[in-house]
Amino acid sequence: MPLGNLAQIVINSVIMGSIYVLIAIGLTMVYRVLRFANFSHAELVTFGAYSAYMVNVSLGLDIAFGLIAAFILTGLLGIATDVLVFRRLRQKGSGTVSMMIASIGIGLVLRQSIQEIWGPDIRWYDLSVESYSVLGASVTDIEIAIVAVSIALIVLLHMMFTHTKLGKAMRGVSDNPQLAMASGIDTEKILLKVWFLGAGLAGAGGVFMGADTRLIPILGWEMLLPAFAVVIMGGIGSFYGAIIAAYLLGFAENFGVLLLSDLGLSTGYRSAIAFIVLILVLILRPGGIMGRRENNAAGLRS
């Protein structure tokens, strides 16, 4: 394979990984604290993408403002879903099954509302894209920004989890909610912050995906499978696991697509790669790649 092609694949993998990582971290955070798979996360991603569209195209501002707006608006939407739906279920003592079903309902409502507002057709951000050549591969300034912002956000999150009181409280709440409550932490307040961050990250991921490809109402839905594949591969609730898994999946997809065309299969099966990765992880290491034996057992019914 010529060096240029290889470089292109590596670059594409890193870009995809950088988008997956934001979406998956948001998903895994909520998963860890609330212990259910939030299927409406997909639509938070879509909502983020379209709220940036509002700022970028409808208001005519730079996409950077779109990104910030998307983070905040989607964060607030995440909080809204919790206050309106999930908190009520928590208060009634409903189990994770109810939470998952409700999240499906929220997903339907959001996705179709987005389609009602912005229509089913493809839209694009208003971007002026500059292309650079690196080692014979091409990369745009937008893509460089995606990777850079993504990494910056990861570093910020890492610092928050390890160094701030809020980060420690979040970890406390997710590890042992009863204990956290007993030691005077207002868990409901922490939960809202987890939602804001988790949903905000999803929104940012949506903007990146929209900037790198296009906007459609099923933008987030298409990311749901890879996002869950990343979360499970990384070990549910694991921040660092999700980071590694996101980039691994980015590489797996981009190299996998090569394999597909070698096998004479349609590259339309691209997202089947995430599925295969997911199944392999479930068979081989259900607790995730980072999971020790104990965590693996946790992936099994306890």
Partner 1 sequence: MLLDYALDALIYTGIYAILTISLNLEAGCTGLMNFGKVAFFATGAYTTALLTTSGVPVIFSAIAGVLLSAVFGLLVALPTLRLRADYLAIVTIAFGEILRMFLHNEDWLTGGPIGIRGIPQPLYQYFDGSYLLFYLFIVFITLVACYFIAELVINSPFGRVLRAIRDDEDAVAALGKNTFLFKTQAFVIGACIASIAGTLFAHYLSFISPDMFLPTLTFSIWTIMVIGGRGNNLGVITGSVLITVFERGSRFIKDYIEMPFGLEPYNVRIIVIGLLLILFIIYRPDGMLRERKSRSPL
Binding site for partner 1 (CB under 8 A): 36-37, 39, 85, 88-89, 92, 94, 96-98, 100-102, 104-109, 111-113, 115-116, 221, 224-225, 228, 232, 266, 268-269, 271-272, 274-275, 278-279, 282-283, 286, 299-301
Q: Which is nearer to partner 1, 8 or 103 (CB)?
A: 103
- Cα torsion at 2, 209, 64, 154 (round to 10°)? -80
Q: Which is nearer to partner 1, 71 or 228 (CB)?
A: 228
For the stretch 228-255, what's the b/e string if a residue is b when 16 or more beta carbons lie within 10 angstroms of its beta carbon?
bbbbbbbbbbbbebbbbbbbbbbbbbbb
The nearest distance, CB 293 to partner 1, in angstroms, is: 16
CB within 8 Å of 19: residues ≥ 6 apart? 146, 150, 205, 208, 209, 212, 223
The nearest distance, CB 153 to partner 1, in angstroms, is: 25
CB within 8 Å of 104: residues ≥ 6 apart? 39, 40
The nearest distance, CB 94 to partner 1, in angstroms, is: 7
Q: Which is nearer to partner 1, 154 or 209 (CB)?
A: 209
The nearest distance, CB 167 to partner 1, in angstroms, is: 26
What CA–CA distance (Å, rounded) separates 115 from 137?
36
Please, what is the end-to-end C-alpha distance for the chain in angstroms?
47
Q: Which is nearer to partner 1, 2 or 121 (CB)?
A: 121
What CA–CA distance (Å, rounded) separates 25 from 34?
14
Nearest to 106 by CA among 195, 231, 32, 229: 195
Nearest to 158 by CA among 27, 69, 13, 29: 29
The nearest distance, CB 30 to partner 1, in angstroms, is: 13
Strand partners for 138 = 133
What CA–CA distance (Å, rounded) separates 16 from 248?
10
Q: Which is nearer to partner 1, 112 or 138 (CB)?
A: 112
The nearest distance, CB 96 to partner 1, in angstroms, is: 7
CB within 8 Å of 173: residues ≥ 6 apart? 33, 180, 185, 187, 190, 191, 194
**How many CA atoms lie within 13 Å of 160's alpha carbon, on the beta-carbon side?**
15
The nearest distance, CB 120 to partner 1, in angstroms, is: 9
Q: Which is nearer to partner 1, 106 or 207 (CB)?
A: 106
For the stretch 95-104, what's the b/e string if a residue is b when 16 or more beta carbons lie within 10 angstroms of its beta carbon?
eeebbeebbe
Q: Which is nearer to partner 1, 21 or 224 (CB)?
A: 224
The nearest distance, CB 288 to partner 1, in angstroms, is: 12
Q: Which is nearer to partner 1, 206 or 226 (CB)?
A: 226
